[in-house]
Chain A
């Protein structure tokens, strides 16, 4: 089950910053980290991310739940690399038949896993603390995104949870009609494709009806829109972005100073 509702404690100082500022800060922070391949900079970044978490009003357990897919992939990376990496340099730690774990392998694997976590967590934090409506409002008002795009995406987004129920209904209706695939993988594939097609047809019809209803209420009719919910971009929002850039830069600087910096390019 994909959870999309924001979970932050209301009023947490960083959670209530402008959504566009939060997204930009997360992007700046993550992109800066992409510049290096070493494990030190992402480790520092992770410490920073976990340290600022209370300012976003998220509990650590909640973050772990939201970031579960990322954590799982990180574990997956470590396991895969430890088992299959070609580079077997460094001191041998474990030698159990086909499994040969060396310090070189372990450092590479942990470095990659850390990097992925450090790059992904800012995004997880931002979306866990941002209401989709607020984000759409801020995109229109502060980032000058077209309302046609931002509100349209928001309305479509609201219909996404329906797709899961719809899939279940279509599958059951097919079984009631005598259509199932049994153990035959080819039949399974065909049933999957035809169910997906039915789902798509339904989604398009719903989308069309929604578009007509929005049209009827004057959406995108050429009249300049006003806004009911004002989103402001304040000095503190600028500071959030600057702070993110400075902290990510500091993580890189430490890595350079320690001599572990390995640039992505060159």
Chain B
């Protein structure tokens, strides 16, 4: 990020946009006075109320993306009090201010509630309360809903809306633009490589730059995506789950996946969707019931359940993509990461090279072949994690929230890629909260519920969607 000139008046509410890598988070960190001295060359000046924020952080509060690593204390009230203690607020003022901050974000529990017992959306509301209790003049929100399911995200947005008053200035980074627009009155678009591309009221900015922004991956509101449903009827059965359960994480469920179909697994948080994905992926042993692969998917391995297969046999038949891409990275470079699976299943080195080069090209990772996987951006890491699962050419692909926090460009690429795989006869199962993704790709949906339904299974199918 360089050459950004920006002036924000008291009480303004700004949405900061820009393609991935334009420096949105860096600008927020600079405004919060959190950029380390040694984090790169610095030029120009950042001032809040005319003061360098590094010298006086009291004017600025910031809420980050990850709820897990923002809460410090074990009890909710103590966590809100933490910042007040640090600022040296007199002891008798602390608890009234804690209660006021919790009220401002509509926090529903007593302050003795353990922070570990909160959902992600509730944790983010608590983090917001912890920041508001310090009464910052400038509130910075760095994708505060990116790690949340839609219900949790709505909860946090409502809390932000309720908490804003005329005196608080807001700068928000959020890639889901449509949802963020009610919170802001000004949009600033950063130019990757330097400077500000556009600045003004949302309507004016999107009218002038909407097409370019959408092409660069920004979720410009009002742009629909053409659906990519299957053209042909599904083929042979690949895998079936028969009364599979893993108490207390998943209630019994029946499920079948065929070649050439994209199945979406929906359901509220805590219903066991991710557990179901791990069971189908042959990574967890079912508590009761069984998961059976057909001969079409597994050949001679069909006699044993997938969780008992050796890892190379599994990887060449069922690919799993985890919610957190970093869990999957094993090696030190993007190239080796992609080559790992094919080497493990015994492909000759020339074939490995061809597979890897094809995937690097297909998922726009060629320039990053020598990069360390841990240094990739969110979108790059997601593309790599999908590519690693595809490297061993499994017939069945099981993905857990593949579109979580992705920009529009990566999102569209994932829809295209999964549709292509499906049309080539693969089975694609995605656990997802993303209604747009389901609408664009899924041929069939199944909803996992916490309680067993009337017919005794924890699932209710909604049949084949109109293509």
Contacts and interface: CB of A to CB of B under 8 A. Distances in A.
A154 interface: yes
A213 B64 contact: yes
Contact of A173 (B71, B75, B130, B328): B328
Interface string B67-94: 0111111110010011111111111001
B86 A223 contact: yes
A151 interface: yes
Contacts of A50: none
A77 to B, nearest CB: 35
Interface stretch (B316-324, B349-357, B459-467): B316-324
Nearest to A170: B327
A164 interface: no
A210 B322 contact: no
Interface string B274-305: 00001001011000000000000000000000
Interface stretch (A26-34, A54-62, A113-121, A226-234): A226-234
A238 interface: no
A212 B66 CA distance: 12
Interface stretch (B161-169, B170-178, B340-348, B359-367): B340-348
A230 B86 contact: no
User: From DSSP, what is the main secondary structure of chain A's interface residues?
Assistant: helix
Interface stretch (A80-88, A100-108, A176-184, A257-265): A176-184
Given A202-B326, A217-B83, A225-B85, A178 B57 contact: no
A64 to B, nearest CB: 26
Contact of A169 (B70, B71, B319, B327): B327
A155 interface: yes
A209 B68 CA distance: 10
A226 B91 contact: yes
A154 B71 CA distance: 11
B89 A178 contact: no
Nearest to A224: B88
B58 interface: yes
Contacts of A175: 283, 311, 314
B392 to A, nearest CB: 6
Interface string A146-172: 000001001100110110001001101
Contacts of A162: 68
Contacts of A215: 34
Contacts of B330: 174, 177, 179, 194, 198
Given A179-B311, A209-B66, A226-B90, A218 B320 contact: no
Nearest to B56: A221
Q: Which of A161, A224, A225 has most B Cβ within 10 Å?
A: A225
B7 interface: no
B392 A178 contact: yes
A226 B322 CA distance: 43
A154 B311 contact: no
B74 A158 contact: yes
Contact of A178 (B84, B278, B341): B341
B315 A217 contact: no
A176 B134 contact: no
Contacts of B392: 178
B62 interface: yes
Contacts of A180: 310-312
B82 A217 contact: yes
A105 B136 CA distance: 70
Nearest to A131: B74
Given A154-B73, A158-B74, A178-B316, A230 B91 contact: yes
Nearest to A223: B88
A249 interface: no
A179 B344 contact: yes
Nearest to A217: B83
B88 A177 contact: no
B87 A178 contact: no
Nearest to B344: A178
B85 A221 contact: no
B328 A177 contact: yes
Contact of B345 (A178, A217, A219): A178
A228 B324 contact: no
Nearest to A157: B74
Contacts of A209: 64, 66, 69-70
A133 B328 contact: no
B95 interface: yes
A143 interface: no
Contacts of A65: none
B61 interface: yes
A172 B284 contact: yes
A117 to B, nearest CB: 30
B32 interface: yes
Contacts of B145: none
Q: Which of A180, A226, A227 has most B Cβ within 10 Å?
A: A226
Interface in B104-123: 115-116
Nearest to A172: B283
Given A178-B314, A178-B315, A230-B91, A213 B72 contact: yes
A212 to B, nearest CB: 6
Given A226-B88, A228-B91, A177 B388 contact: yes
Contacts of B410: none
Contacts of A2: none
B389 interface: yes
Contacts of A217: 61, 72, 82-83, 86, 130-131, 134
Given A223-B88, A228-B91, A177 B310 contact: no
B328 A178 contact: no
A250 interface: no
A177 B278 CA distance: 13
B86 A225 contact: yes
Contacts of B68: 159, 162, 206
B374 interface: yes
A132 interface: yes
Contacts of A227: 85, 91
Contacts of B81: 228-229
Interface of A: 131-133, 151, 154-155, 158-159, 161-162, 166, 169-170, 172-180, 182, 194, 198, 201-202, 206, 209-210, 212-221, 223-230
6 contacts: A176-B314, A209-B66, A213-B72, A216-B34, A217-B72, A226-B84
Question: Which 4 pairs show the lowest CB-CB distances between chains A and B?
Answer: A178-B315, A180-B311, A178-B344, A217-B83
Given A177-B330, A216-B32, 9 more contacts: A178-B312, A179-B340, A202-B327, A206-B69, A213-B127, A218-B87, A226-B84, A226-B85, A228-B78
